Amino acid sequence: MMPPFALRSAHPTDLDAVLALLPLIGPDDATLADAWASWIDETDGALAVATMEETVVGAIHCARVSPDEGWLEALHIAPTLRERGLATALVRAGTLWAQAQGLASVRASAISTDAAISTLLTGNGFAQVGAFVRFAAPVAGAQPDAFAAPRIRQPAPDELDRLWDWLEASNLSPLTGGLYQDGDRAAALTDTTLDAFLHAGQVWTLEDYATVQSLIIAGPHAPNSHETRLGLRYLDGASQGISQLALHLRALAAEEGDRYSLVEARPTDLLILHDALNGAGFTRVDDAVQWIYAKHLG
């Protein structure tokens, strides 16, 4: 039987103790260390640690990623407590916080090679809703496709209905779980979020005769305080068009000088999207697949 533990809000001085624990769900240590202080100060999230006899033995962070969506991350536990129920208790604590905030759903991710985390999440009522992989490309060296350039545009916000109708009819959209990626986090792509991306100038389409062929949502992503990447958050449409759009965005990033360290993409795990990104100079970062799990709180 697991000894009793106490749950409390994290303190700035807890970081070293947490980094010494076993990370079960990301982010990596460097990102966690960089985000720790801001997570403690945030008013729209919960960063908690579990203690036994005042020793930190676990941690979890629950972030609000939209008005009604939560994201669980930074799950750490003491190695000696890995299969003794502490991870389950922390996931439940994060879920209860999300529910108390009135969120409609909460999500988390697991790497495909870690069956134990998948079991942990499904055992707590989560269901797999998406599978994504990581690609990256250098900023330098991208030459836009001259043939495609006249067909690439940034739609205006008043085109929301037209684009949303196209997305709802997309063959790829159901395979993404209706999600877009922002770094390691995933959130629902809704007409409201699409509208926000349009107003921010972060939507690009490739069109023929005023008909959308492919669409990419892209914007800056800062994994830490020292680096900004251009993140391709959502990709949809014909493979060739996606490839041409991705190459176009690499070239736009190059025009920004030193603003971006690289261009990253998190497509759903489909071979046609792998090929599309390869054709735009992207390479797969690793062999892992990021599985997204969701629990509806009702």
- pLDDT, tens digit, for every residue of 46-75? 999 999 999 999 999 999 999 999 999 999
Average pLDDT over residues 13-35: 94
Element (H, E) at 294: strand 290-296
Ordered by where they begin, the domains of the chain are: 6-103 (3.40.630.30), 135-290 (3.40.630.30)
CA-CA distances (angstroms) from residue 129 to 109, 126, 176, 187, 291? Answer: 10, 9, 8, 11, 8
Q: Where are the alpha helices (DSSP H) in 112-270?
A: 115-123, 160-168, 191-199, 239-255
Collapsing DSSP to helix, strand or coil, 286 comes out as coil
Is it the case that residue 78 has pLDDT exceeding 80?
yes
Strand partners, 27: none
* pLDDT beyond 60 at 263: yes
Q: Which residues pair with 59 in a beta bridge?
A: 49, 76
SS3 state at 86: helix
**Residue 117 pLDDT greater than 60, yes or no:** yes
> Is residue 12 scored above 70 in pLDDT?
yes
Task: Look up tokens 């079991």; give the residue.
Answer: 119
The answer to whether the beta carbons of residues 281 and 142 sit under 8 Å apart is yes
Percent share of the chain, pLDDT over 70: 99
What pLDDT sits at residue 3?
A: 63
Task: Read off the amino acid at residue 236.
Answer: D
Task: Specify the 3-state DSSP secondary structure of 255.
Answer: helix
**DSSP assignment of 7-36, as one string?**
EEE--GGGHHHHHTSEEEE-S-HHHHHHHH
- pLDDT at res. 200: 98
Q: Which of 74, 73, 26, 112 is nearest to 288 (CA)?
A: 112
Asked if residue 280 has pLDDT above 90, the reply is: yes
C-alpha distance from residue 115 to each of 24, 26, 109 (Å): 11, 15, 12
